[in-house]
Amino acid sequence: MRIGLGYDVHRLVKDRDLILGGVKIDHTLGLLGHSDADVLIHAIMDALLGASALGDIGKHFPDTDPKYKGISSIKLLEAVGKLLYDNGFTIGNIDSTIIAQKPKMAPHIQIMRENISNALNINIDQINIKATTEEKLGFTGEELGISSQAICLLL
């Protein structure tokens, strides 16, 4: 068994879509990044790559490579899932948290879980997503950015 931990954060800006867990969420601000800046998927990918000792998302999908400009993070997650499979790993479970003051995440969590389940070809009951605010404290509480944390177990 191996355990991995992932973390990601991106700044909120105007004129960008807010994509979390592969879901486009209606909001006045979106996340700034080279790809679609999906902090939830990025944290999950880093947890999976860390547990497998296969590096991190920067190693596999550098933000200096134009082929990843604007790419869906779900596509990157599919590639990570294949890399794990090719290296003999099986995902036990993934537990994650989105940290954002706004918007509310609860209406979107089931679809996020489905997207991750499909991308990794695992059962939806192996994926948990929670959301919390920081009670208007710090950069997430002041709505300057959104962050996410993830932990996983590989078998």
Question: Two tokens at 20?
Answer: 């979390």
Contact 120, 81 (CB under 8 A): yes
* Average confidence (pLDDT) over 121-147: 96
CATH code, domain carrying 113: 3.30.1330.50
Each residue's pLDDT tens digit, 12-47: 999 999 999 999 999 999 999 999 999 999 999 999
ω before 103 within 30° of 0 (cis)?
yes
pLDDT tens digits for range 70-84: 999 999 999 999 999
Reported as a single tens digit per residue, the pLDDT across 93-102 is 999 999 999 9
Instruction: Say how many domains are in the chain.
Output: 1
Q: Is-above-0.85 flag for pTM?
A: yes
Question: What's the CA angle centered on 63, arms 32 and 47, to 5 degrees?
Answer: 85
Poorest-confidence range of 6-10, 47-51, 121-125, 134-138?
134-138
87-97: average pLDDT:
98
Q: Binding-site residues for a divalent metal cation, please?
A: 8, 10, 42
- Phi/psi of residue 124, each to 5°? -60, -25
Q: 27 lies in which domain range?
A: 2-154
* pLDDT (0 to 100) of residue 91: 98
The three-state DSSP-derived secondary structure of 68-134 is: HCCCCHHHHHHHHHHHHHHCCCCEEEEEEEEECCCCCCHHHHHHHHHHHHHHHCCCHHHEEEEEECC
Provide the annotated binding site: 8-10, 34-35, 42, 56-58, 61-65, 100-106, 132-135, 139
Backbone phi, then psi, for 122, in 5-degree steps?
Answer: -125, 165
The average confidence (pLDDT) of the chain is 97
